[in-house]
Amino acid sequence: MTHHATKISIITEKLNEQQIEQMVVEAGAKGYTVFEGSGRGSHSLKTRSRPSVVDAFSLIKIEVIVADREKADAIVEKIASTYFKDYSGIVYMETVEILRLEKF
């Protein structure tokens, strides 16, 4: 007895963490999970093992699961248009199966 929901993954600079989290919650998500990472993209290389003298630029991945697809689209749209001109980052969506529909 599972339901379908959309998982949004946002990879961006740690600097933006608080603002994005707030934006996500205001857009109606009931929760999110954050992981630290490193990576490479079109902007310069982010490193992990060295002391990051500038820790605020290191990367995080924020995962948000929402049951409502339209809510998901709205969040993705909002984030892509607000952040990815100036800051490094990507956003993508996946379909997941959840148990407790009311939690998402």
Partner 1 sequence: MELFSDLLSTFASQLQKPALAFLLGGMVIAALGSKLSIPDAIYRFIVFMLLMRIGLGAGIEIRAANFGDVLLPALISLFIGCAIVLIGRFTLAALPQVRTEDGIATAGLFGAVSASTLAAAMVVLDEEGIGFEAWVPALYPFMDIAALVLAIVLASVHAHKQNGPSAKVALGPIFANSLRGSALSALLLGLVIGLVSRPEGVFEEFYDPLFRGLLSILMLVLGIEAWSRLDELRKVAHWYVIYALVAPLVHGLLAFALGYMAHLVTGFSPGGVILLAVIAASNSDISGPPTLRAGIPSANPSAYIGSSTAVGTPISIAVGIPLYLTLGQWVFGL
Ligand X SMILES: Nc1ncnc2c1ncn2[C@@H]1O[C@H](COP(=O)(O)O)[C@@H](O)[C@H]1O
13 binds partner 1 (CB under 8 A): yes
2 binds, among partner 1, its own copies, ligand X, none (CB under 5 to 8 A by kind): its own copies
Tokens of 41: 């993209």
Binding residues for ligand X, per CB under 6 A?
11, 29-33, 39-43, 46, 59, 63-65, 88-90, 104
One-letter amino acid at 25 equals: V
Rounded to the nearest whole angstrom, what is the least distance from the CB of residue 6 to its own copies in the complex? 9
Of 86, 40, 36, nearest to 63 by C-alpha is 36
Identify any residues that bridge with 24 across adjacent strands, giving them in sequence order: none
